Amino acid sequence: MSTVKEDRIVLEMQHISKQFPNVLANEDVSIQLKEGEIISLLGENGAGKSTLMNVLYGLYRPSAGKIILNDEEVEFSSPKDAIEKGLGMVHQHFMLVDNLSVTENIILGSEPGKAGIIDYKSARKEVAELSEKYHLEVEPDAIIESLSVGLQQRVEILKALYRKARILILDEPTAVLTPHEVDQLFLVIKKLRDSGVSMIIITHKLEEVKAISDRVYILRRGKCEGLRNTKDVTKEDLANLMVGREVVLTVHKEKKEVTGDSIFNLENVIVKNEKGINALDGLSLNVRPGEIVGIAGVDGNGQTELAEVLMGLCKLESGRIYYKGEDISELTTKQRRNKSISNVPADRHRFGLILPMTISENMVLGFHDEKPYVHGINLALDVIHNYSEKMVKDFDIRTPGVDIPAGNLSGGNQQKVILAREFSRNPDFLLVAQPTRGLDVGAIEYIHSQILKMRDRNVGILLISLELEEIFSLSDRILVLYEGKIVKEFVPEETTDKEVGFYMTGGKKE
């Protein structure tokens, strides 16, 4: 039951601008929040969402504009001021102390008790009551590092509630959750709303805007591009507002018969991590030409090691790797790449690009010592330059030229440079890890279409992604990776994200 006066405005940000040395991150943005209301801030990466909320939370001073809280103008010089006035924020990256308990984390900085003696018992009791009241079940004595990400998030929310937050800001709260955890979070959010808490939820996911919020503000390049009632707006409209042009949301993937022998096989692969634990624990899989095999899993279940062992970047403890029937287990990375195996790595800054080097240099990275990029002992600069210009055109890389550092490009365009380099070598097998992490809808659309193009050219593709939606929209087969093993195989059309999510967490309910 709602105890809320529907239309009372609890918070207003008026004409907020925030100038950073090089970027105008917010420009004349105004938002209103009503009591017991949930609003979304929707926008692509870099649109200025976190900045706006950090301004609200007292982390940044606005360059212009004002904040009105319960009809009173406020100026926060730190989050402490904001918290005192009833604001709470759960950041994208949690700010918990790993080796302290749930209760200790929650009370940290506002410990109850007199004369420096912390009254842990009453704190623990209060935490337990809060967690029951809002369905935020979590063991008060558990140590943070032993908790799943979903549970850690609950602790962050409890922490804000313990400090009596009446306005709660959640920055991309679902980015780290499994589908089941997302459902649970949404229940909590609704429960909070019913008790009169107002919420601002930052997201770049259109589904979520529709599922959870009453109204949505769309930010683009620091400016507010619109305000909509979520029940009156379609996902397509939202995407167009967010990107500033027409966007195709659904991936058009035609069902394809895949026949023939597999091109890539892993058999009983064991790889140890630095702690000596089996990160891959007897993993077997195969990929056939012309199919996309998607690896679904919660982060940390062996994704990194799987990618590394495929490319020869880590030691194979036991098991074999076959490519086109040949045992390549002992080959170096370079030897594998020369056999037309391409790789779009998950960490594009560490492995994909050298940011201070130019776009042209990055385009031939790893191949610069091969024809046609060398003449004798010299780099064939004109060849490289022309090739790069063609790639920039073919892959729609937005840049003033090919001789500027790759680091000057936006994330989406950096990723396109890697794609251009890896895809244009006519690979027969492609390892693609996290291809769209941190990218905006427009870039994602483009990258997905390019991956499908490679599939239609009969390339065998292994896709590792933490985005279940991406796995579903691209894969012909889905393999669930859990604790270093493939525990289940699905055909996307015959399953649901809930079912896959269930196996991703080891088939256990929380």
Ligand X SMILES: Nc1ncnc2c1ncn2[C@@H]1O[C@H](COP(=O)(O)OP(=O)(O)O)[C@@H](O)[C@H]1O
Q: Which of 50, 131, 399, 434 binds Mg ion (CB under 5 A)?
A: 50
Pick the piece of the chain touching Mg ion (CB under 5 A) from 47-55, 147-155, 232-240, 249-257: 47-55
Shortest Cβ distance from residue 24 to ligand X (Å)? Answer: 8
- The pair of structure tokens assigned to 439 is 């990218």
Shortest reach from residue 405's CB to ligand X, in Å: 16
- For 349, which DSSP code? I
For the bound state, the minimum distance from the C-beta of residue 210 to Mg ion, rounded and expressed in Å, comes to 20
d(CA 33, CA 8): 9
- Residue 404 touches which of ligand X, Mg ion, none (Cβ within 5-8 Å per kind): none
- Hey, is 502 helix, strand or coil? helix
The H helix count followed by the E strand count for the chain is 16, 22
362 lines the binding site for Mg ion (CB under 5 A): no
CB nearer to ligand X: pick between 20 and 403: 20
106: left (phi over 0), alpha (psi -120 to 50) or beta: alpha
- Closest-approach residue to Mg ion (CB): 50
Query: Based on CB atoms, which residue is closest to ligand X, 47 or 474?
Result: 47
Question: What residues line the site for ligand X (CB under 6 A)?
Answer: 20, 23, 25, 43, 45-51
H-type alpha helices, 148-255: 149-162, 179-194, 206-212, 235-243
Question: Any bridge partners for residue 216, and if so which?
Answer: 40, 228
Minimum gap (Å) between residue 172 Cβ and Mg ion: 6
Residue among 23 and 404 whose Cβ is closer to ligand X: 23
Taking the least distance from each CB to Mg ion, the nearer of 25 and 451 is 25
Least distance (Å) between residue 286 CB and Mg ion: 39
* Cα distance between residue 215 and residue 6, in whole Å: 13
- N residues, the chain: 510
At closest approach, how far in Å is the CB of 89 from Mg ion?
12
Contact 17, 65 (CB under 8 A): yes
Nearer to ligand X, 128 or 175 (CB): 175
User: Is the CB of 23 or the CB of 118 nearer to ligand X?
Assistant: 23
CA pair distance 180, 468, nearest whole angstrom: 12
Token pair 């809060």 is found at 130
Q: List beta partners, residue 293.
A: 462, 477
**Cα–Cα distances in Å, from 332 out to 31, 264, 284, 302, 309?**
55, 16, 21, 21, 10
Asked if 413 interacts with Mg ion (CB under 5 A), we say: no
Q: Smallest gap, in angstroms, from Cβ of residue 52 to ligand X?
A: 7
Residue 334 binds which entry of ligand X, Mg ion, none, CB below 5-8 Å type-dependent: none
CB of 432 to Mg ion, least distance (A): 24
204 DSSP 8-state letter: S
Nearer to ligand X, 50 or 362 (CB): 50
46 by DSSP, 3-state: which? coil
> 97 is in the binding site of which of ligand X, Mg ion, none (Cβ under 5 to 8 A by kind)?
none
Residue 174 binds to Mg ion (criterion: CB under 5 A): no
Q: Between residues 105 and 436, which has the closer beta carbon with respect to ligand X?
A: 436
Give contact residues for Mg ion (rule: CB under 5 A). 50
